[in-house]
Structure 1
Amino acid sequence: MHSRRHPQPEAADAAAIAGGPAAAAARRASGAWLRTHAPGLLLAGAVAAVALALGKAAPLIGAPVIGIVLGIAVRTLRAPGAAFLPGIRYASRQVLQASIVALGFGLGLGQVARTGLHSLSVTAATITAAFVAAWALGRALRVRDDLRLLIGVGTAICGGSAIAAVTPIVRPDEHDTAFAISTIFLFNLVAVLLFPALGHLLHLSDLGFGLWAGTAINDTSSVVAAGYSYSHAAGDYATIVKLTRATLIVPICLALAMLVAWRERKRGPSDFRLRRVFPWFILWFVAASGARTLGLVPAAWLPGLHTAAEGLIVMALTAIGLSADLRRMAATGARPILLGLGVWAAVALSSLGVQYAMGQL
């Protein structure tokens, strides 16, 4: 007798073997998503890789700023076509949120307690000064609401990282985000060059300068550069103060989400829901930071997590640069830069003023 050969399964049978029609549909959907988003993600990733390499060669500037500048340059020379836009948009939003969560693994919640009220009181004063100056001076200079909010948050908390954190909540124009980060960077660079000389001129102690640098300079890398150029002790203390200051982005994001909800309700009946703008990624940030605090994250993982967080945030900021319209930024004029100068001066002077009033200088 001749043995019968079973026929090869048809496509539908193969799908059933691999998990059924639902699994096949999911694979088709994921494939369509990848085809739609891959060009923009690859472009943002490639430019970000260049920015990371240049950032190692120029740590004073930093890869995040280089990323956004390169993104703006690429868009100015040759704007990405429509095929790139979905991936660029995804990187500037979802990848941005993922980068904030990854940053949480590098910051233990206990660091806030260890710095104590000695730094938190000065930090609270400088943050208040930043927001008041951004509101008052921004209105006087007729700077758009979103742009003055971004400059105020960036100056008050932690520069580009803070701007990145609030962007998914307030959803400003990409070029406003790029302009705000560029403005913050300008005064970061000035601070790194100016603060150590002023500290010696004012005869500040190591802890006094560390507290000043940690509360008045925006970006962490700039705080570290200024602090350690003053002294090793000043650098250690400035870094801790800066990390404590960075955690305050969590309540600020929550407050902004509530403000967005209130504004929507004030405009009248709508289908707005707080959960749509609620910064859920901030809760994941807190969870990541809590995992670090509880020792649930092995120490061997931390360098890799730090590298991943840096890569994600550089990729996200590069995507923002690729979305920015340089002509619109130029049309904005010098007023945002003047606003950044005024807010930065308010923060620097209020930090020194509070320390002097408390007898800490």
Structure 2
Amino acid sequence: MMLSETTSNKSNKITKWIWMGVAICCTAFLVSPPVALGVGIVLAQFIENPFPVLNHKAIQWLLKIAVVGLGFGMTVNSAISAGKEGFWFTAGSIFTTLLLGLILGKVLGIDKIIAQLISSGTAICGGSAIAAIAPIVKANTKQISISIGVVFLLNSLALFLFPPIGHLLHMTQHQFGLWSAIAIHDTSSVVGAADAYGNEALAMATTVKLARALWILPVSLVFAFLSHGSIKKIKIPYFIGLFILAIILNTYVPQVSSITPWIVSGSKIALSLVLFVIGSTLDFSSLKSVGTRPLFLAVGIWVFISVLSLIVILHTGA
């Protein structure tokens, strides 16, 4: 018994060292966000993530730090311009995605709460929206796990697929930034895809995406009303205020703007680390538990909003 425990502890330590070594390499060699995600996914198929609880917290905090840091690379005028342009587009896409998701979920006979979580995650901001809606609709652990699992899977695909599609269709930086902000669920993947496309796309995508994230509040209120949930459980994304503050400081404080290139570079490293951590949690065995119908629902509404928004952007020349 003692020998077995000793062997297990030794194996666990080796796993931890391997995981930390690969994570350090992703930051030290400045790998791009898509590559970092891919490395994490590959690693997850060979070793079990040794820091499941710590990773969840790291994803939340590192992503917020990265997004706030990226705000130092933007100006007030560009942020206002992007926010104005994306407002009605965002509102329309959220309403359409939620409505389609709830209807399709009912047609497919999917658990009502799972349909609500997947629809919210697809419509607003992936895992963050699911985490915000879950306590309001009284979701259990399994329902949350299934919803987050399928959303993270599609986020991963989007990070790899969107930049090549953008180049194939000769989309401008502006167009791609807007498209990725509307059509990709999670903030980390939106920023990662836009960063791979270019700096202008990154600025556009980040601003519109965070404006989209603010819709967590009104959507949460709607779900609280429909499911008789408590409004006290609604989570407000306060870090968006810090993002706005970073933009203001970069625009109006010369001492800050002189060091912004360093802050932005550090934020991009943090983003790559976040995506590596996310990838290291996506082993295929856990994704099998998602089920075909929830997966079909998530893919269906994601493809719909991706294609529809792409057509609108290319047709209007946005």
Query: What is the TM-score with the length of structure 2 in the denominator?
Result: 0.66
Alignment partner of 1:294: what SS?
helix
Which of residues 31, 43, 59 in structure 2 aligns to 1:96? 59
Q: Deviations over 1:307-356 (max 9, x none)?
A: 345435644x36754xx7926x4244333343233223322333245457
The answer to whether the aligner puts 1:330 opposite 2:251 as a matched pair is no
Q: Are 1:48 and 1:67, in contact at CA under 8 Å, matched by a contact in 2? A: no
TM-fit CA distance, 1:123: 3.1
- Alpha-carbon RMSD across the aligned residues, in angstroms, is 4.3
Runs of 5+ in structure 2 lacking a partner? 1-11, 136-140
Paired AA for residue 96 in structure 1: I
Change in 2 beyond 3 A, CA 1:247/1:258: same
Paired AA for residue 69 in structure 2: F
The answer to whether the aligner puts 1:346 opposite 2:310 as a matched pair is no
Paired with 1:130 and 1:44, the residues of 2 have a C-alpha distance of 40
Alignment partner of 2:34: what SS?
coil
Paired with 1:60 and 1:148, the residues of 2 have a C-alpha distance of 29
Change in 2 beyond 3 A, CA 1:289/1:132: same
TM-fit CA distance, 1:50: 2.0
The answer to whether the aligner puts 1:311 opposite 2:273 as a matched pair is yes
Alignment partner of 1:279: what SS?
coil
Paired with 2:17 and 2:274, the residues of 1 have a C-alpha distance of 9
Q: Which residue of 2 aligns with 1:37?
A: none
Paired AA for residue 346 in structure 1: F
The answer to whether the aligner puts 1:105 opposite 2:69 as a matched pair is yes
Q: Which residue of 2 aligns with 1:243?
A: 206
Alignment partner of 1:346: what SS?
helix
Runs of 5+ in structure 1 lacking a partner? 1-39, 229-234
Alignment partner of 1:142: what SS?
coil
Which of residues 141, 145, 149 in structure 1 aligns to 2:108? 141
Larger radius of gyration, structure 1 or 2?
1
Change in 2 beyond 3 A, CA 1:192/1:207: closer
Paired with 2:293 and 2:87, the residues of 1 have a C-alpha distance of 31
Q: Are 1:148 and 1:336, in contact at CA under 8 Å, matched by a contact in 2? A: yes
Mapping of residues 1-361 of structure 1, within 5 Å = 47=19, 50=22, 53=25, 59=32, 61-64=34-37, 66-67=39-40, 70-71=43-44, 73-75=46-48, 88-92=52-56, 94-102=57-65, 103-107=67-71, 110=76, 111-115=78-82, 117-145=84-112, 147-149=114-116, 151-157=118-124, 162-169=125-132, 170=134, 173-197=144-168, 199=169, 211-212=178-179, 214-217=181-184, 219=189, 220-225=191-196, 228=197, 235=198, 237-255=200-218, 257-258=220-221, 262=225, 266=228, 274=232, 277-279=233-235, 282-283=237-238, 285-295=239-249, 298-299=259-260, 300-308=262-270, 310-312=272-274, 314-315=276-277, 317=278, 320-321=281-282, 326=285, 329-352=287-310, 354-355=312-313, 359-360=316-317
TM-fit CA distance, 1:292: 0.9
Change in 2 beyond 3 A, CA 1:152/1:237: farther
TM-fit CA distance, 1:105: 2.7
Paired with 1:57 and 1:115, the residues of 2 have a C-alpha distance of 28
Paired with 2:153 and 2:58, the residues of 1 have a C-alpha distance of 20
Paired AA for residue 215 in structure 1: I
Q: Are 2:101 and 2:301, in contact at CA under 8 Å, matched by a contact in 1? A: yes
TM-fit CA distance, 1:113: 0.6
Paired AA for residue 339 in structure 1: L
Q: Are 2:150 and 2:290, in contact at CA under 8 Å, matched by a contact in 1? A: no
Alignment partner of 2:70: what SS?
coil
Change in 2 beyond 3 A, CA 1:52/1:335: farther
- Of all paired residues, the percent bearing the same amino acid is 17
TM-fit CA distance, 1:138: 2.8
Query: What is the TM-score with the length of structure 1 in the denominator?
Result: 0.59
Paired with 1:255 and 1:273, the residues of 2 have a C-alpha distance of 11
Higher mean alpha-carbon deviation, 254-263 vs 299-308, is at: 254-263
Paired with 1:62 and 1:137, the residues of 2 have a C-alpha distance of 34
Paired with 2:284 and 2:218, the residues of 1 have a C-alpha distance of 29
